[in-house]
Amino acid sequence: MHAVGIVAAAGSGLRLGADMPKALVPLAGRPLVRWAVDTLIAGGVAQVVVTVPRGQRDAFAAALPPDVLIVDGGRTRTASVRAGLAAVSSSADAVLVHDAARPLTPPDVVSRVLAALAGGARAVVPVLPVVDTTVAVGPDGMITGALPREQIRRVQTPQGFHRATLVEAYRRLPARAELTDDAAVVHTAGVRVATVAGDERAAKVTVAHDLALAELIARTTGERASPQAGGSSRLRGTATEERNESGVEP
Ligand code: CTP
Ligand code: MG
């Protein structure tokens, strides 16, 4: 299976508040976007397209391997992924869409997504269970009822798709639509979305606290500044995966 990765990296990172685009912020010596690209490659993706903020092509090119395709992103994540998808070769069977903001995603998560696609899923997302009690609240902040926790999952990236299915779902999506992920785009188009086990280390870096935590995790798992020097092997396989659901739910 020929799989192409799209890394959504065109956000500005307002909530992180760094003096550069969030995807260029270093974590253990490597920009977040570089971590994301390295993870996709290590997990079995053949080629990667990165969507970048306007005017930042050179800065991103300096941070990425030369064979990565760099394209201008859009005003929203949905617009950025749409732009990235337009640059994916029609010879690809599968597309994996990943957030630059999830730098410590282990390559095993990528492999599980690819395996589900190879097994016939048209769309697949990595998910984690919710450990807290979950409730619904009204606009006044008062609890309106219980939400059955066992029916709820937290959704991560990379999210994998049969390429033609994702292209068709984006074609049907209104131009200005804004959805928070790509599973929502295909689900809106009526496609069934399967799940595989995610990983706590695929957590999203949103605020400064998340970056501090990621630094700590990168350091304690022995990650190094350069993939050649350290590789991602120490991030493979943990109890987290075994605790969570494995395999595909069609
Ligand atoms: N993203 C994108 N294009 C946009 C907005 C976001 O490609 N117009 C990407 C971000 O670069 C990030 C991912 O989508 O990797 C998830 O978005 P988020 O965590 O919200 O990042 P930012 O939008 O950069 O951060 P903020 O919302 O705090 O400004
Ligand atoms: Mg954002």
Domain membership of residue 249 (yes or no) is no
pLDDT of residue 238: 40
Q: Which of 34-43, 102-111, 221-230 has the lowest mean pLDDT?
A: 221-230
Q: Is 123 helix (H, G, I), strand (E, B) or coil?
A: strand
Tens of pLDDT, residue by residue over 186-245, are 999 999 999 999 999 999 999 999 999 999 999 988 665 444 433 444 444 443 433 344
- How many structural domains is the chain composed of? 1
Q: Please state, in angstroms and rounded to a whole number, the distance separating the CA atoms of residues 144 and 4.
A: 43
Cβ atoms of 76 and 96 closer than 8 Å: no
pLDDT at 247 exceeding the cut of 60:
no
Domain membership of residue 182 (yes or no) is yes
Q: What angle do CA 185, 169, 47 make, to 5 degrees?
A: 90
Domain CATH code at residue 101:
3.90.550.10
**Average pLDDT of the residues in 119-123:** 98
Mean residue pLDDT across the chain = 91
Which residues fall inside 5 Å of ion ligand 2, going by CB? Answer: 11
List alpha helices for the chain, DSSP H.
Answer: 32-43, 57-63, 77-86, 107-118, 163-172, 182-188, 208-220, 227-230, 239-243
Q: How far is the CA of 172 from the centre of ligand 1 (A)?
A: 23
pLDDT of residue 233: 41
pLDDT of residue 230: 38
Ligand 1 pocket residue status of 77, Cβ below 6 Å: yes
Domain membership of residue 54 (yes or no) is yes
Q: What is the pTM of this model?
A: 0.90
Ligand 1 atom nearest the C-alpha of 9 is 11
Domain membership of residue 202 (yes or no) is yes
Domain membership of residue 128 (yes or no) is yes
**Average pLDDT of the residues in 165-189:** 96
**Average pLDDT of the residues in 148-164:** 97
pLDDT band at 57; cut points 50, 70, 90? very high
pLDDT at 174 exceeding the cut of 80:
yes
Q: Which domain holds residue 19?
A: 3-243
Domain membership of residue 152 (yes or no) is yes
Element (DSSP H or E) covering residue 94: strand 94-99
**Average pLDDT of the residues in 131-151:** 96
Ligand 1 pocket residue status of 10, Cβ below 6 Å: yes
Taking CA atoms only, the protein residue closest to ligand 1 atom 26 is 13
Burial 236-246 (b: 16+ CB within 10 A, else e): beeeebeebee
Tens of pLDDT, residue by residue over 62-94, are 999 999 999 999 999 999 999 999 999 999 999
pLDDT at 154 exceeding the cut of 80:
yes
**What percent of the chain is modeled with pLDDT above 70?**
88
* SS3 sequence of 173-239: CCCCCCCCCHHHHHHHCCCCCEEEECCHHHCCCCCHHHHHHHHHHHHHCCCCCCHHHHCCHHHCCCH
Return all residues near 37 (Cβ < 8 A) that are at least 6 apart.
Answer: 5, 7, 48, 50, 64, 65, 68
Domain membership of residue 248 (yes or no) is no
**Average pLDDT of the residues in 102-113:** 98
Cβ atoms of 107 and 98 closer than 8 Å: no
Ligand 1 atom nearest the C-alpha of 102 is 15
pLDDT of residue 164: 98
Ligand 1 atom nearest the C-alpha of 206 is 19
Phi, psi (rounded to 5 degrees) for 172: -80, -20
- What's the distance, Cα to Cα, between the start and end of the chain in Å? 20
Ligand 1 atom nearest the C-alpha of 11 is 24
Of 241, 197, 238, the C-alpha closest to 220 is 238
Domain membership of residue 162 (yes or no) is yes
Q: Which of 98-112, 134-148, 233-247 has the lowest mean pLDDT?
A: 233-247
Of 195, 192, 190, 187, the C-alpha closest to 249 is 195
Ligand 1 pocket residue status of 80, Cβ below 6 Å: yes
The Cα-based distances of 68 to 6, 81, 85, 97, 135 in angstroms read: 10, 16, 14, 14, 43
